[in-house]
A and B are shown apart, each in its own frame.
Chain A
Amino acid sequence: MTTVGLQEVLLVGAVLFVAGILCMVTKRNAIGVLMGTELVLNGANVNFVAFAYFHNLFNIEGQIFALFTIIMAAAEAAIALAIVLNFYNNHVTVDVDAAEDLKG
């Protein structure tokens, strides 16, 4: 790969990240919000792996961090889904705008 450099990969990661943020902001469905977080995490992972690829001292570290991120994402998804289900059980909705009990 000669023309595709670090910056191009980072651009993809940034697109994923921004898409994730937008997803979190615009989705009212709680599961949509969850999807946004997955996107954000993926964007970050892309960055990790890109740096691992383009920096020969961190070939392993970047991948390991990406792995840990994936695992954390899995854990997060599990918990988040459980919370969503619980919320749904309690409120009979998955609209995050309904979850405003902590509003000041």
Chain B
Amino acid sequence: MDFDYGLLYVVATLLPLASFLILFLGGRRMGRLGAYIATAAIGLSCVCSLIGAVAYFSNVPHHHGHHAAGHAHDGPGHDHHPDAHADKKADHGHDPKQDHKADPHSGTKEEHDHGPPWQGSIYWAWVGGTADKPAMSLELGYYVDGLTVLMFVMVSFIATLIHVFSMGYMAEELQDQVEDHQAHVTRKGRYSRFFMFLSLFCFSMLNLILANNLFQVFVSWELVGICSYLLISFYYERLSASTAANKAFIVNRVGDAGFIIGLLIFWTYCGTFNFQEIFGQLRCPPEDAHGKNSLAGQIVRGRLVPEQDLGDRKYLAVVEFRLDVAQLEKSGAVDKETLDRLRTLDGKTFDRAKSFRDALEAALGHEQFEKLESQLLQAGARTISDGPVALLFPPEPGDHPHGVGPDAEKFEDGYGDGIYLAVAPKPNQYRSIPYWLLVLGGIGIFLGCVGKSAQFPLQVWLPDAMEGPTPVSALIHAATMVAAGVYLVGRAFPLFAPEVLVLIAYVGCITAFLAATIAIVQTDIKKVLAYSTVSQLGFMMLALGVGGWAAGLFHLITHAFFKALLFLGSGSVIHGCHHEQDMTRMGGLFPKMKITAVTMLIGVLSIAGTPLFAGWYSKDAVLASALSFVTLRPQHLLLFLLPLITAGLTAFYMFRLWFLTFTGKPRDEHVYEHAHESPYVMTVPLMILAFFSVTVAWGLNPLDATGSALEHAIHHEYPTVMPDRVAEDDAKVKAEAGNDAILPALVAYQLDKNAYLNVLHLPSLHELAGGLALLAAGLGIAMAFVVYGFGFLDPAQTKAQFQSVFRFLWEKWYFDEAYEVMFVRPAHVVAGWARWFDLKVIDGIIDNLALGTVRLSWFDGRFDLGIIDGLVNLTANVVYGVGSWLRIFQTGSIRNYVLFLALAAVGIVAVLSYVVALAG
């Protein structure tokens, strides 16, 4: 590949920045020209990203046989990251800007089933080492893999459409004087400023997607945050807008605090922010130096051993979750029944086991375990250890010089043959991270995502953020920025321990349900959509949490299209109704704005999960993931039930929105009279988005819910950190393990995680989940028809009947009030204390210090006048006195001088002779 497409993406990212700078410098004068520049910039970015996408996917070779079968599960891709990583390291020798992988295919014997990641970076700041190869560095780089490519296309494409739409929507800002009816002020138009912020946002968002390291993500993360802040408070004369902006910013700070904690944990233990390097450390290479699969691709739970325990041998750790059954069999110490039982163990056995011993005991049953133990003891082994567990991983992939297996070093102090094998690393070869810190780091990063993606319990800011202009809501608060949290969870997926993934799943699940219930009762058209967004983001988080990595990101992309469509549609309605957002004052608008109504209906159908619409595929994938998970772990039943209910609720409130807006009788004559269809500059983006809201997820056979081409494409990008043999289905692992002296049961963390994640690929489950989801959506739609479509049930009456429930939902589950009581008021109280402390103690100290200084100065002055000046004056006086005394001898009389001369001669000679006499 001669052309580096990575740089194309860099250009695509920098174009909006250039536009931002031009608009920034151009100021208010730019007018329409500013909009053209911004739109052209993001449009060019879109073109670049499309070229990149074509180049990327045209590089994807045909898959292995079982992949081509159309099965939803393509399996995690063959892992070539170690090579890429090694090349990258080697490339640091020359100009880092050229540091991209020219041909990832060279030197790898396996066939890749996804295209090359284009990557490169420059150092932003570094310490230690040389400039070419610093000991620690902050990078500024790009990493373009399939996920980036797809996200890039999505973001730049939707952003382009929204730019176009905004040209129409924000047209009135072109006037010199704009009257703000809500804030009751007249101000200058801010047309160019709007596009300036949009450009800055586009740059930040694209940079976030493009980043190859966590730190760059974090910087972009804050940049999109500030853009969000600026655009929410675009009408900053309105108190509600500025308050909402502050709220968004502050709530996000809570999440970002967690993000920083996560960053620091991984920086501390990995020494890098680069995704690939961190991932590289979180596992072993597929093969060791002997060509043996030893600790291949696993994070191994082991027990840290103090060095002195082992005499002169420098063992740092003992691998605990490992049992070499082949050797065990060879030794003949264990009977065949136990061996067979051992071979049937799988990753689940060790899921959250406290120790190897517990796990084995639980898996084998008490009787059989005791038998095994006694047999081992007879063979000379010690009792099976149950120490605490830690997590070990090597710092450098491909640098694993020792084997664990037949030729591994063994403990010679009584652990017995083939049972407890020692890893004998060189000093500092292994970095280790306490498991709880790995969990904490994952939670920290996820907390950042919670804030940005408005997940429970930080979901409160997003609905308020609807104070911004509607295109902003569509772009930032529906399609892209809020999805950044989901994107980051997907990007940093290997960092999350199973415990964290469960947490993610629950958070997503609760968020989805909670937001959907609130959305039912909202009357502000944008608020409904906002809660819908929160709910859908919850779906994505849920999918990621239950291991449906591809499903979550798939839903992210489809959702971006139809949610942008819905928001732009609502914008069109609001624009047509002269900034009326309350649905209770709309109604019957269908004849007046047909294009808007139809496109919005498409969006509603899509989000509701109607077959053949984009939302159908992704929502089914999400629910199928959840169902698979729940099938294996019935205790997490809620993770499927709540999303299922939510799917029904979603269909209900979305149709409610559409019915309330476009059908029935006009409820407000004034609004109805003035309603009109928006200009083409606004409706054309709607139509384009509507088209994609239907077709974006289509595969070869649109009727196949699992056949979405987009989902397959995402699946290829699964961030595998384990070798194929582990990543394949359990049976295959077991089969290979027998030959390779590795039991799947005894592969630790990654297999754990693999078992955790490897559950979503059963077609039957997918069909079941799809069917249930369709049923739920159908019920929801039917309800909406009953209540709002045909008016069989009077909403007001229902409302009256369920007054308390309605209040509860209307007040958004009292989250704001709860936070008011829990955080805001305590904060005020603490602030009061702090104020008191500041006034009394700090100021007191300062005042007293000042007073003390004055006193001290007084003494100092005395000292200066008395002693210092006194000394100076004394010197002068002495000199004066001596001079006066000497003056006596200056008589002016020659005779006296002669006398003095004679005397002096006598005196000097006398003294000299005396001295000479003394000396002699």
Of A2-10, A21-29, A42-50, A55-63, the segment with at least 4 beta carbons within 8 Å of chain B is: A21-29
**Interface readout for B879-909 with A: 1 if CB under 8 Å, 0 if not?**
0000000110011111100110010000000
CB proximity of B114 to chain A, nearest CB, Å: 108
CB proximity of B903 to chain A, nearest CB, Å: 10
B895 near A100 with CB under 8 A, answer no
Q: For chain B, what secondary structure do more than half of its interface residues adopt (helix, strand, loop), or is it mixed?
A: helix
A104 near B892 with CB under 8 A, answer yes
B902 near A96 with CB under 8 A, answer no
- What are the residues of chain A within 8 A of B886 when measuring CB–CB? 104
- What are the residues of chain A within 8 A of B887 when measuring CB–CB? 104
A24–B899 Cα distance when bound, in Å, is 9
- Find the B residue at minimum CB distance from A36: B898
B-facing residues in A53-100 (Cβ within 8 Å) = 96-97, 99-100
Q: Which of A96, A101, A104 contacts B895 (CB 8 A)?
A: A96
Chain B residues engaging chain A, CB cutoff 8 angstroms = 886-887, 890-895, 898-899, 902
A21 near B895 with CB under 8 A, answer no
A102 near B898 with CB under 8 A, answer no
A25 near B899 with CB under 8 A, answer yes
Q: Which of A21, A97, A101, A104 contacts B898 (CB 8 A)?
A: A21
A101–B892 Cα distance when bound, in Å, is 7
- What are the residues of chain B within 8 A of A24 when measuring CB–CB? 894-895, 898
Q: Which of A28, A96, A103 contacts B890 (CB 8 A)?
A: A103
Known: A21-B902, A104-B887. A99 touches B895 (CB 8 A): no
Q: Which of B891, B892, B895, B899 contacts A33 (CB 8 A)?
A: B895
A100 near B899 with CB under 8 A, answer no
A96 near B894 with CB under 8 A, answer yes
- What are the residues of chain B within 8 A of A27 when measuring CB–CB? 895
- What are the residues of chain B within 8 A of A26 when measuring CB–CB? 895
A-B contact count (CB 8 A): 34
B898 near A103 with CB under 8 A, answer no
Known contacts A103-B892, A103-B893; 14 further A-B pairs (Cβ under 8 A): A24-B894, A25-B899, A25-B902, A28-B895, A33-B894, A96-B894, A96-B895, A97-B893, A100-B892, A101-B892, A103-B890, A103-B891, A104-B887, A104-B892
- Find the A residue at minimum CB distance from B894: A96
A6–B478 Cα distance when bound, in Å, is 129
- What are the residues of chain A within 8 A of B894 when measuring CB–CB? 24, 33, 96, 99
Q: Which of B890, B898, B899 has the most CB of A within 10 A?
A: B898
CB proximity of B909 to chain A, nearest CB, Å: 13
4 closest cross-chain pairs (CB), A and B: A103-B892, A100-B892, A104-B890, A24-B898
CB proximity of A92 to chain B, nearest CB, Å: 18
- What are the residues of chain B within 8 A of A101 when measuring CB–CB? 892
- What are the residues of chain A within 8 A of B902 when measuring CB–CB? 21, 25
- What are the residues of chain B within 8 A of A28 when measuring CB–CB? 895
- What are the residues of chain A within 8 A of B898 when measuring CB–CB? 21, 24-25
| Contact-residue size bin, chain A (C-beta under 8 Å from the other chain) | 10 to 19
- What are the residues of chain B within 8 A of A33 when measuring CB–CB? 894-895
CB proximity of B884 to chain A, nearest CB, Å: 10
- What are the residues of chain A within 8 A of B891 when measuring CB–CB? 100, 103
A28–B356 Cα distance when bound, in Å, is 128
A97–B886 Cα distance when bound, in Å, is 19
A96–B894 Cα distance when bound, in Å, is 7
CB proximity of B900 to chain A, nearest CB, Å: 10
Q: Which of A27, A101, A104 has the most CB of B within 10 A?
A: A104
Chain A residues engaging chain B, CB cutoff 8 angstroms = 21, 24-28, 33, 96-97, 99-104
- What are the residues of chain B within 8 A of A104 when measuring CB–CB? 886-887, 890, 892
20 example contacts (A-B, Cβ-Cβ < 8 A) are as follows: A21-B902, A24-B894, A24-B895, A24-B898, A25-B895, A25-B902, A26-B895, A27-B895, A33-B894, A33-B895, A97-B895, A99-B892, A99-B894, A101-B892, A102-B892, A103-B890, A103-B892, A103-B893, A104-B886, A104-B890
- What are the residues of chain B within 8 A of A99 when measuring CB–CB? 892, 894
CB proximity of B886 to chain A, nearest CB, Å: 8
- What are the residues of chain B within 8 A of A103 when measuring CB–CB? 890-893
A27–B893 Cα distance when bound, in Å, is 12
- Find the A residue at minimum CB distance from B891: A103
- What are the residues of chain A within 8 A of B890 when measuring CB–CB? 103-104
- Find the A residue at minimum CB distance from B902: A21
A78–B402 Cα distance when bound, in Å, is 118
CB proximity of B896 to chain A, nearest CB, Å: 8
A97–B898 Cα distance when bound, in Å, is 13
- Find the B residue at minimum CB distance from A18: B902
CB proximity of A1 to chain B, nearest CB, Å: 30
- Find the B residue at minimum CB distance from A97: B893
- Find the A residue at minimum CB distance from B898: A24
Q: Which of A24, A26, A101 has the most CB of B within 10 A?
A: A24
A74–B891 Cα distance when bound, in Å, is 29
A5–B336 Cα distance when bound, in Å, is 143
CB proximity of B760 to chain A, nearest CB, Å: 115
CB proximity of B750 to chain A, nearest CB, Å: 105
- What are the residues of chain B within 8 A of A25 when measuring CB–CB? 895, 898-899, 902
CB proximity of B880 to chain A, nearest CB, Å: 14
CB proximity of A58 to chain B, nearest CB, Å: 24
A9–B902 Cα distance when bound, in Å, is 22
- What are the residues of chain A within 8 A of B899 when measuring CB–CB? 25
- Find the B residue at minimum CB distance from A96: B894
A24–B895 Cα distance when bound, in Å, is 6
A97–B891 Cα distance when bound, in Å, is 10
- Find the B residue at minimum CB distance from A37: B898
CB proximity of A81 to chain B, nearest CB, Å: 15
A70–B144 Cα distance when bound, in Å, is 115
CB proximity of A30 to chain B, nearest CB, Å: 9
CB proximity of B907 to chain A, nearest CB, Å: 14
- What are the residues of chain A within 8 A of B892 when measuring CB–CB? 99-104
- Find the A residue at minimum CB distance from B883: A104
CB proximity of A11 to chain B, nearest CB, Å: 17
A13–B702 Cα distance when bound, in Å, is 145
- Find the B residue at minimum CB distance from A101: B892
CB proximity of A6 to chain B, nearest CB, Å: 20
A97–B896 Cα distance when bound, in Å, is 10
A25–B890 Cα distance when bound, in Å, is 16
A24–B897 Cα distance when bound, in Å, is 10
A19–B898 Cα distance when bound, in Å, is 13
- What are the residues of chain B within 8 A of A96 when measuring CB–CB? 893-895
A104–B887 Cα distance when bound, in Å, is 6
A24–B890 Cα distance when bound, in Å, is 18
A96–B895 Cα distance when bound, in Å, is 8
A104–B883 Cα distance when bound, in Å, is 10
- Find the A residue at minimum CB distance from B890: A104
CB proximity of B706 to chain A, nearest CB, Å: 121
A95–B286 Cα distance when bound, in Å, is 124
Q: Which of A25, A97, A99, A103 has the most CB of B within 10 A?
A: A25
A102–B893 Cα distance when bound, in Å, is 9
A99–B890 Cα distance when bound, in Å, is 13
CB proximity of B599 to chain A, nearest CB, Å: 114
- Find the A residue at minimum CB distance from B888: A104
A21–B902 Cα distance when bound, in Å, is 8
A103–B899 Cα distance when bound, in Å, is 16
A57–B167 Cα distance when bound, in Å, is 124
A104–B898 Cα distance when bound, in Å, is 17
- Find the A residue at minimum CB distance from B887: A104
CB proximity of A14 to chain B, nearest CB, Å: 13
- What are the residues of chain B within 8 A of A21 when measuring CB–CB? 898, 902
CB proximity of B175 to chain A, nearest CB, Å: 95
Q: Which of B886, B891, B893 has the most CB of A within 10 A?
A: B893
A25–B894 Cα distance when bound, in Å, is 8
- What are the residues of chain B within 8 A of A97 when measuring CB–CB? 893, 895
A28–B892 Cα distance when bound, in Å, is 13
A25–B896 Cα distance when bound, in Å, is 7
- Find the B residue at minimum CB distance from A40: B898
CB proximity of A90 to chain B, nearest CB, Å: 16
A59–B119 Cα distance when bound, in Å, is 110
CB proximity of B895 to chain A, nearest CB, Å: 5
CB proximity of A102 to chain B, nearest CB, Å: 5
